[in-house]
Structure 1
Amino acid sequence: MRQMLRAALAFIVMALAARTAMAANDLTIEITKGNDQAIPIAVVPFKGEGTSPGTDVAQVVADDLEHSGRFDPIDRKDLISLPGAGDTLNYSDWKMINANYVVVGKMTPEGNGYKISFELHDVLGQKRVLGQYVSASRDQLRAGAHFIADQIYKKITDVRGAFSTQIAYVSATGTDQNMQFTLNVSDYDGYNARQVLSSNEPILSPAWSPDGKKLAYVSFEGGRPAIYVQQLTSGKRIKLTSFKGINGAPAWSPDGRRLAMSLSKSGHPEIYVMNLADRSLTRLTNSSAINTEPSWSPDGQHILFTSDRSGGPQLYEYTLGSGQVSRKTFTGPYNAGGHYSPDGKNIFMVTRDDSGYHVAKQSLENGRVTVLTKTRWDEAPTIAPNGTMVEYATQRGTQGVLGLVSDDGKAEFVIPSTKGNVREPAWSPFTD
């Protein structure tokens, strides 16, 4: 991969996608590495009443918890019994299979859907610690399952679950002059995908607005890169920039009033901030280097960006107000595509070593770098809004797919594409 700065040079992101047409795959998240220190939890198949709902809600709950890397659901064939409620649960039985927690539930027909009642039991403490219900229509049963997983995750870890969030991503099909690009939105695990935009020209760098109602992205549909903002419900969109040269890497400020971006309208790619109220631009960087991939700190006071001003791609931080620029990465010859963690304590990025390009995490307190992935061609890391999972684009053979890794690197998964090559994932914020 001939990378210098992926987003600044725009076409590189889709270079792999343009090489080959891919056949459709079944969408099933595949475990590539598990966490041997994860909490053992038994998620019992929910008792159903009436006709079959068509969605295994308990299995979706178990999968969500496993994807976080914090939990190790016990295989169904090893479950000692199948209770539908806590009053029939014998804690001693579950201790025998080393379950720390047990989830039980039942589904009752309600209108055009189901009322899903669920309980979480602490086996070691021998008590029920959570009991709730959620109503869901037939086509929203996965959403109901994600809600349940969120509640269980929060109760045990005291961290808000992010399973009800979404991702945006770009897929590419076809070859050469017949390439077709689509911007899509789906559940975080790739299910329930819907198309937002289709084009025969590349689409890059989708970015969610803080309220989760809009996407900013780069499209080449007019023959040159332009930055657009599109409302997801209505499909209405506006073109913000279409300067000569690079218009790339839009990033929303935490208050949703500004967009940082990389523009080369003055010659070299520089970091600018646009006030969305009047579309006025403020230039932040001024150098002969390539400056791109801006990302806002959670408090809106700093912007992280990639620059080759030191001779190779590294991450720098611009402090708003003072205009001070400081280098943040020093380990290795290549660190790019940086994003702050939601708590502002870490940076997630792509780093390069002798084995390829990997997703890594760097502590802002002590500078320690932890490489999270083992795959060779990783790019575009995006962090769950609770900071516990990272989704990224990678290669599987000749196909572009999405990967998912826990923030400590102890659990990894691959999300094969349903169609074509997949790139540029962007994780949605919490919306309530």
Structure 2
Amino acid sequence: MNSVHNNLLLQIMFLYMFIQSNLSLPTKQTVILALKTQQISSGSLPKAPNKLSFHHNVSLTVSVAVGTPPQTVTMVLDTGSELSWLHCKKTPNTPSAFDPLHSSSYSSIPCSSPTCTTRTRDFTVPVSCDPKKLCHAILSYADASSAEGNLASDTFRIGNSGLPGTVFGCMDMFSSSNTEEDSKTTGLIGMNRGSLSFVTQMGFPKFSYCISGRDSSGVLLFGDASLPWLRPLNYTPMIQISTPLPYFDRVAYTVQLEGIKVSGKLLSLPKSVFVPDHTGAGQTMVDSGTQFTFLLGPVYTALKNEFMRQTRGVLRVLNDPNFVFQGAMDLCYLVELSRTSLPPLPTVSLVFRGAEMGVSAERLMYRVPGMVRGGDGVHCFTFGNSDLLGIEAYVIGHHHQQNVWMEFDLAKSRVGLAEVRCDLASQRLGVAE
């Protein structure tokens, strides 16, 4: 799921490495990719084709090689989407795009193919046949952007592993509120549990990532993370249902949120508010394609009120009813520009079945870029109201996954969490600069 626009651009570049020691699997070798984040201004965007700027908040991106001979493309890592897609060249000299005409292994998928009729929630509009009898698809996202083009297949390479015949969308039409920035993006890599997702097509039973909020480093790992220094993971089971429901995404990484604590105090809410209703609305999804965390209205209001109560006299509330950051975050504060750090803040803990995720210090606040009120900067609480976005779900964004080892175990249908210094994890794996 792509999240709502803001003016911050962040670039994440992956450097490939291949580990063949005690990280190997019986049938596949583990692939480790180094992660580097770099905050850039819109006026200094790099033009190299293997670098990506992306305006849908802060996004995680991975560089892979596609086609024969290989073309380097950079794709947003999205655990909330199924179908991967690339900007495909329609005219010469198109920047940051994949050129299918220069790949001998590229193949268009006809609309008569069973792949064309594979059901995925990514297709908000049913697939159709174009005039050339090719499979035509339209993808839409929560930020109102969309991509349109044909389904195709080609060879994708991760590390030393090549996967021929990988299905993806070769998109040549786009709609967005920021066309200039979108023209520089290369695509999206879908990582949910659907049959067309990249991780499913690769055949790895699990993958992990660790995002550093300290020194802009991190790591993405495909395969088994048998790392002796990694703390024991606390696992929470993925919630699965057999009956299709209109508002329940059955291929998302859905876990069960059971409560929220503020400085150890559990919010006084019935557990029923965290359980999906008869329509499927109210599931809790772990989504790397969304920056912040969004909660259904009643839970968001309870958290907001308790956080305000515990920070009274510590933080100054921005009393401006006309300002709602990203359309869903209405709790913002004024912080003196002269301050080099925020005052001590209460820890917010998301309580899952079998595991907890603590959110503390700077991860609780986000400085709104370029917004100054007098001598103050504006910092907003990093939890939002999903009701204001029209999303019938709880969404755990990657901002709150910083310095948490996140393992997605598809074989055992569970998500593992462990607090870890992600910059140190990268160094131990030999992928930090």
For the superposition of Structure 1 and Structure 2, which TM-score range results when normalised by the shorter chain? under 0.3
**Greater RCO between the two (CA within 8 Å, min separation 6)?**
2
Q: Relative to total residues, which structure has the larger strand share, 1 or 2? A: 1
Scaled by the length of structure 2, the TM-score of the pair is 0.25
Scaled by the length of structure 1, the TM-score of the pair is 0.25
